[in-house]
Amino acid sequence: MSALNRIAVASLSLGLQVTAAVADDPPKLDVTTTCNAAAQFSIVIGRDKEACLDDERTAENTLAQNWSKYNADDKTQCVGTVKTGGPGSYVELLSCIEVMRDAKELVAGDPLERPDPPVQSTPQSIPRRRR
């Protein structure tokens, strides 16, 4: 296979993977362990396992309704974060995606946070004063 064909196949494959990541549904998480722990260590009256499960269901529904609207890179990063290091949580996943989205909006709207313009590689001529 020629190098050009390999590049075309790789590009097509990557394009299909991105499309699949955007079109899929939120991951399925087992939140019972999370809610058991939250209820066990809760210091607020009324924050029992059922209250936790209600919050998780609400977050799961919000994610399902808006999943296709979220940035694919943000989803990938946040799903990886949520699935690493302990039991999963839809509330944590939703929070992560919203923080990523909001941070990008803040940077886009704040001229002080935008990247610096590229530096020119050739020096500009500076007019010299005559004495």
- Model confidence pLDDT, tens digit, residues 92-106: 999 999 999 999 988
Phi, psi (rounded to 5 degrees) for 24: -75, 180
pLDDT in tens, 35-92: 998 877 777 777 889 999 999 999 999 999 999 999 999 999 999 999 997 889 999 9
What gap in Å lies between CA 72 and CA 10, rounded to an integer? 19
pLDDT recorded at residue 100: 95
Tell me which residue has tokens 């808006």.
66
Q: CA angle, 71 as apex, 12 and 32 as ends, to 5°?
A: 110
- The average pLDDT across 117-122 equals 57
Tell me which residue has tokens 């699935």.
83
pLDDT recorded at residue 77: 95
pLDDT recorded at residue 111: 64
What gap in Å lies between CA 52 and CA 32, rounded to an integer? 9
Q: Can you read off the two tokens belonging to residue 62?
A: 């919000």
Residues in the chain: 131
pLDDT recorded at residue 45: 76
pLDDT recorded at residue 8: 40
pLDDT recorded at residue 117: 61
Q: Residue ranges of the domains in the chain?
A: 29-111
Average per-residue pLDDT in the chain? 77
Please provide the DSSP assignment of 95-113 as one string.
HHHHHHHHHHHHHHH-GGG
Higher pLDDT pick, 25 / 118: 25
What gap in Å lies between CA 30 and CA 53, rounded to an integer? 11
Interaxial angle between packed helices 49-66 and 90-109, expressed in degrees from 0 to 180 and rounded to the nearest 10: 50
Q: Is the pLDDT of residue 4 over 50?
A: no
* pLDDT band at residue 107 using 50, 70 and 90 as cut-offs: confident
